[in-house]
Structure 1
Amino acid sequence: MQVKNMIIEEESEEGNTNNNKEKAKQTKMITSWLPLLCRASNGNDVPVLSICERAELEKVLEDAIEMLEGEEQERVLSLWLHHFTYCPFSNWPDLRPSYARWCTTSRKLFSLP
């Protein structure tokens, strides 16, 4: 019985390690692309992305950020905020809803007794 428990525990640890590696890859991917996206413009004659495509991309980014842990969310969203406010000619990706959720969650964590 102890051997079975040890195997289950090892598999659980491996699952957590793989999950952490996947989240680290996801964080790296998002942080690599956010500065580029924030600096992107629509082009001269024809928009690069339609309104629907932009909305879809923002939703994908929000979902990916939501899956990250608090510290990774903070890192991604602070990078986004820096580049979003630094690039006056671009108004996207608009991740304000994700930022607002992160702020609310963080405040709740700090206010716990």
Structure 2
Amino acid sequence: MSAATEEKQYRLDSLKWLVVTVLVAGAIYGNYYYSTESLLYRVLAMLAVALVAGFVAVQTRKGESFITLLRGAYTETRRVVWPTRQERNQTTLMVVAVVLIMSLILWGLDTLFGWLASMVIG
């Protein structure tokens, strides 16, 4: 028995990235060149070029691994156990309390050291 696994072939990746670069550079130049046109038309054109460039980029090895990363991240976000409203409120109040206490301590130390410096300097 042979367990032959087919690995997807990524041909001409360099050429695909060159196409993506040319598309993005062309969109930037076109946006500058047609700066007198309506903003809506320019944004729509940029979105269309971004979609085409994204489609070409996904056809590469790095693009495919990026999509795999996004799918994994989405799966992980579904596993997150979010805090309840009470836990969120208690944590927020604790953070606010610690910040207030630390600010009072730092204010007190600043005042003390300022007073000591003025006593030494005269």
TM class by smaller structure? 0.3 to 0.5
**Which is bigger in relative contact order (C-alpha 8 A, separation at least 6)?**
1
Give TM-score, length-normalised by structure 2.
0.33
Give TM-score, length-normalised by structure 1.
0.35
